[in-house]
């Protein structure tokens, strides 16, 4: 499954992708990293200061074919960046589109006005920006309003950031309900592992406390007497958690 995360500047696209990577080990591709790699390796005459339309026209065909390859290989990938055209759906046939989810992050005018200092403060949380001089209240408002109109025009999904607690809402939408965009698979856990990781894996699959799952398993084993055999069967049947899912 492919998850496209895009939006205006300073909306936390890279931060969200990084959190998904850390929590669920879903790899992500930063289009900005791809851009800088191509520029620094001198595979293009474009520069970081080239206009967004030109960069999108150059980068998107590459990203598009990466996405198709990932889908054909039945893998998962998060693609993050602002160089995703608003008519991106035209580049994929139906058999590809059913595996792609899109979300655009947009800040409301009131949020920008009330939290501009915080926006600037956390601009470099994940990666260092080369030049942030254009980040003014006026530019942010204009950029976000433009992107909002384009999302509405193209009937695209977007998340409107309008309060300081927005990240928790994003976590709820993307992390707690990740089955909406990425198929969940049951694995033995590598991080919540006491014996073989069976209880930890079940806890991660159902978003439960691993300790609670272990207690329920132990109590059930004492009462019904078949917990050990069931654990051995699960340990043999449930696959190990891969490094990257």
Distance CA 4, CA 100 (A): 7
Query: What integer pLDDT is reported at residue 5 of this predicted model?
Result: 93
More confident site: 16 or 212: 212
Confidence (pLDDT) at 190: 82
pLDDT band at 72 (very low <50, low <70, confident <90, very high): very high
Q: Which residue has the higher pLDDT, 25 or 74?
A: 74
> 124 pLDDT band (50/70/90 cuts)?
low
Q: What is the DSSP string of 184-211?
A: ----B-SSS-SSSSHHHHHHHHHT--HH
Q: Assign 186 a pLDDT band (cuts: 50, 70, 90).
A: confident
Tell me what percent of the residues of the chain surpass a pLDDT of 70: 84
Mean pLDDT of the 61-74 span? 95
Q: Which of 70, 103, 123, 121 is nearest to 171 (CA)?
A: 103
pLDDT in tens, 27-46: 899 999 999 999 999 999 99
The pTM of this model reads 0.68
Position 174 confidence tier, pLDDT thresholds 50, 70, 90 = low
């Amino acid at each position: 499954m492919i998850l496209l995360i895009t939006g205006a500047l300073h909306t936390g696209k890279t931060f969200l992708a990084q959190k998904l990577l850390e929590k669920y080990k879903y790899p992500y591709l930063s289009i900005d990293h791809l851009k800088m790699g191509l520029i620094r390796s001198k595979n293009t005459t474009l520069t970081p200061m080239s206009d967004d339309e030109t960069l999108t026209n150059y980068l998107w065909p590459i990203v598009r074919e990466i996405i198709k390859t990932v889908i054909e290989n039945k893998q998962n990938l998060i693609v993050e960046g602002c160089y995703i055209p608003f008519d991106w759906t035209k580049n994929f046939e139906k058999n590809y589109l059913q595996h792609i989810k899109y979300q655009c992050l947009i800040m409301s005018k009131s949020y920008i006005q009330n939290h501009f200092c915080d926006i600037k403060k956390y601009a470099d949380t994940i990666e260092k920006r080369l030049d942030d001089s254009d980040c003014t209240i006026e530019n942010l408002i204009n950029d976000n309003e433009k992107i909002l109109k384009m999302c509405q025009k193209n009937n695209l999904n977007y998340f409107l950031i309008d309060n300081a607690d927005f990240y928790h809402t994003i976590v709820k939408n993307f992390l707690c309900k990740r089955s909406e965009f990425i198929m969940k698979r049951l694995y033995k856990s590598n991080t919540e592992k006491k014996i073989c990781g069976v209880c930890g894996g079940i806890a991660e699959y159902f978003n439960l406390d691993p300790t609670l799952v272990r207690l329920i398993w132990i109590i059930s084993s004492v009462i019904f007497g078949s917990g050990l055999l069931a654990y051995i069967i699960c340990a043999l049947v449930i696959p190990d958690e891969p490094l990257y899912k």
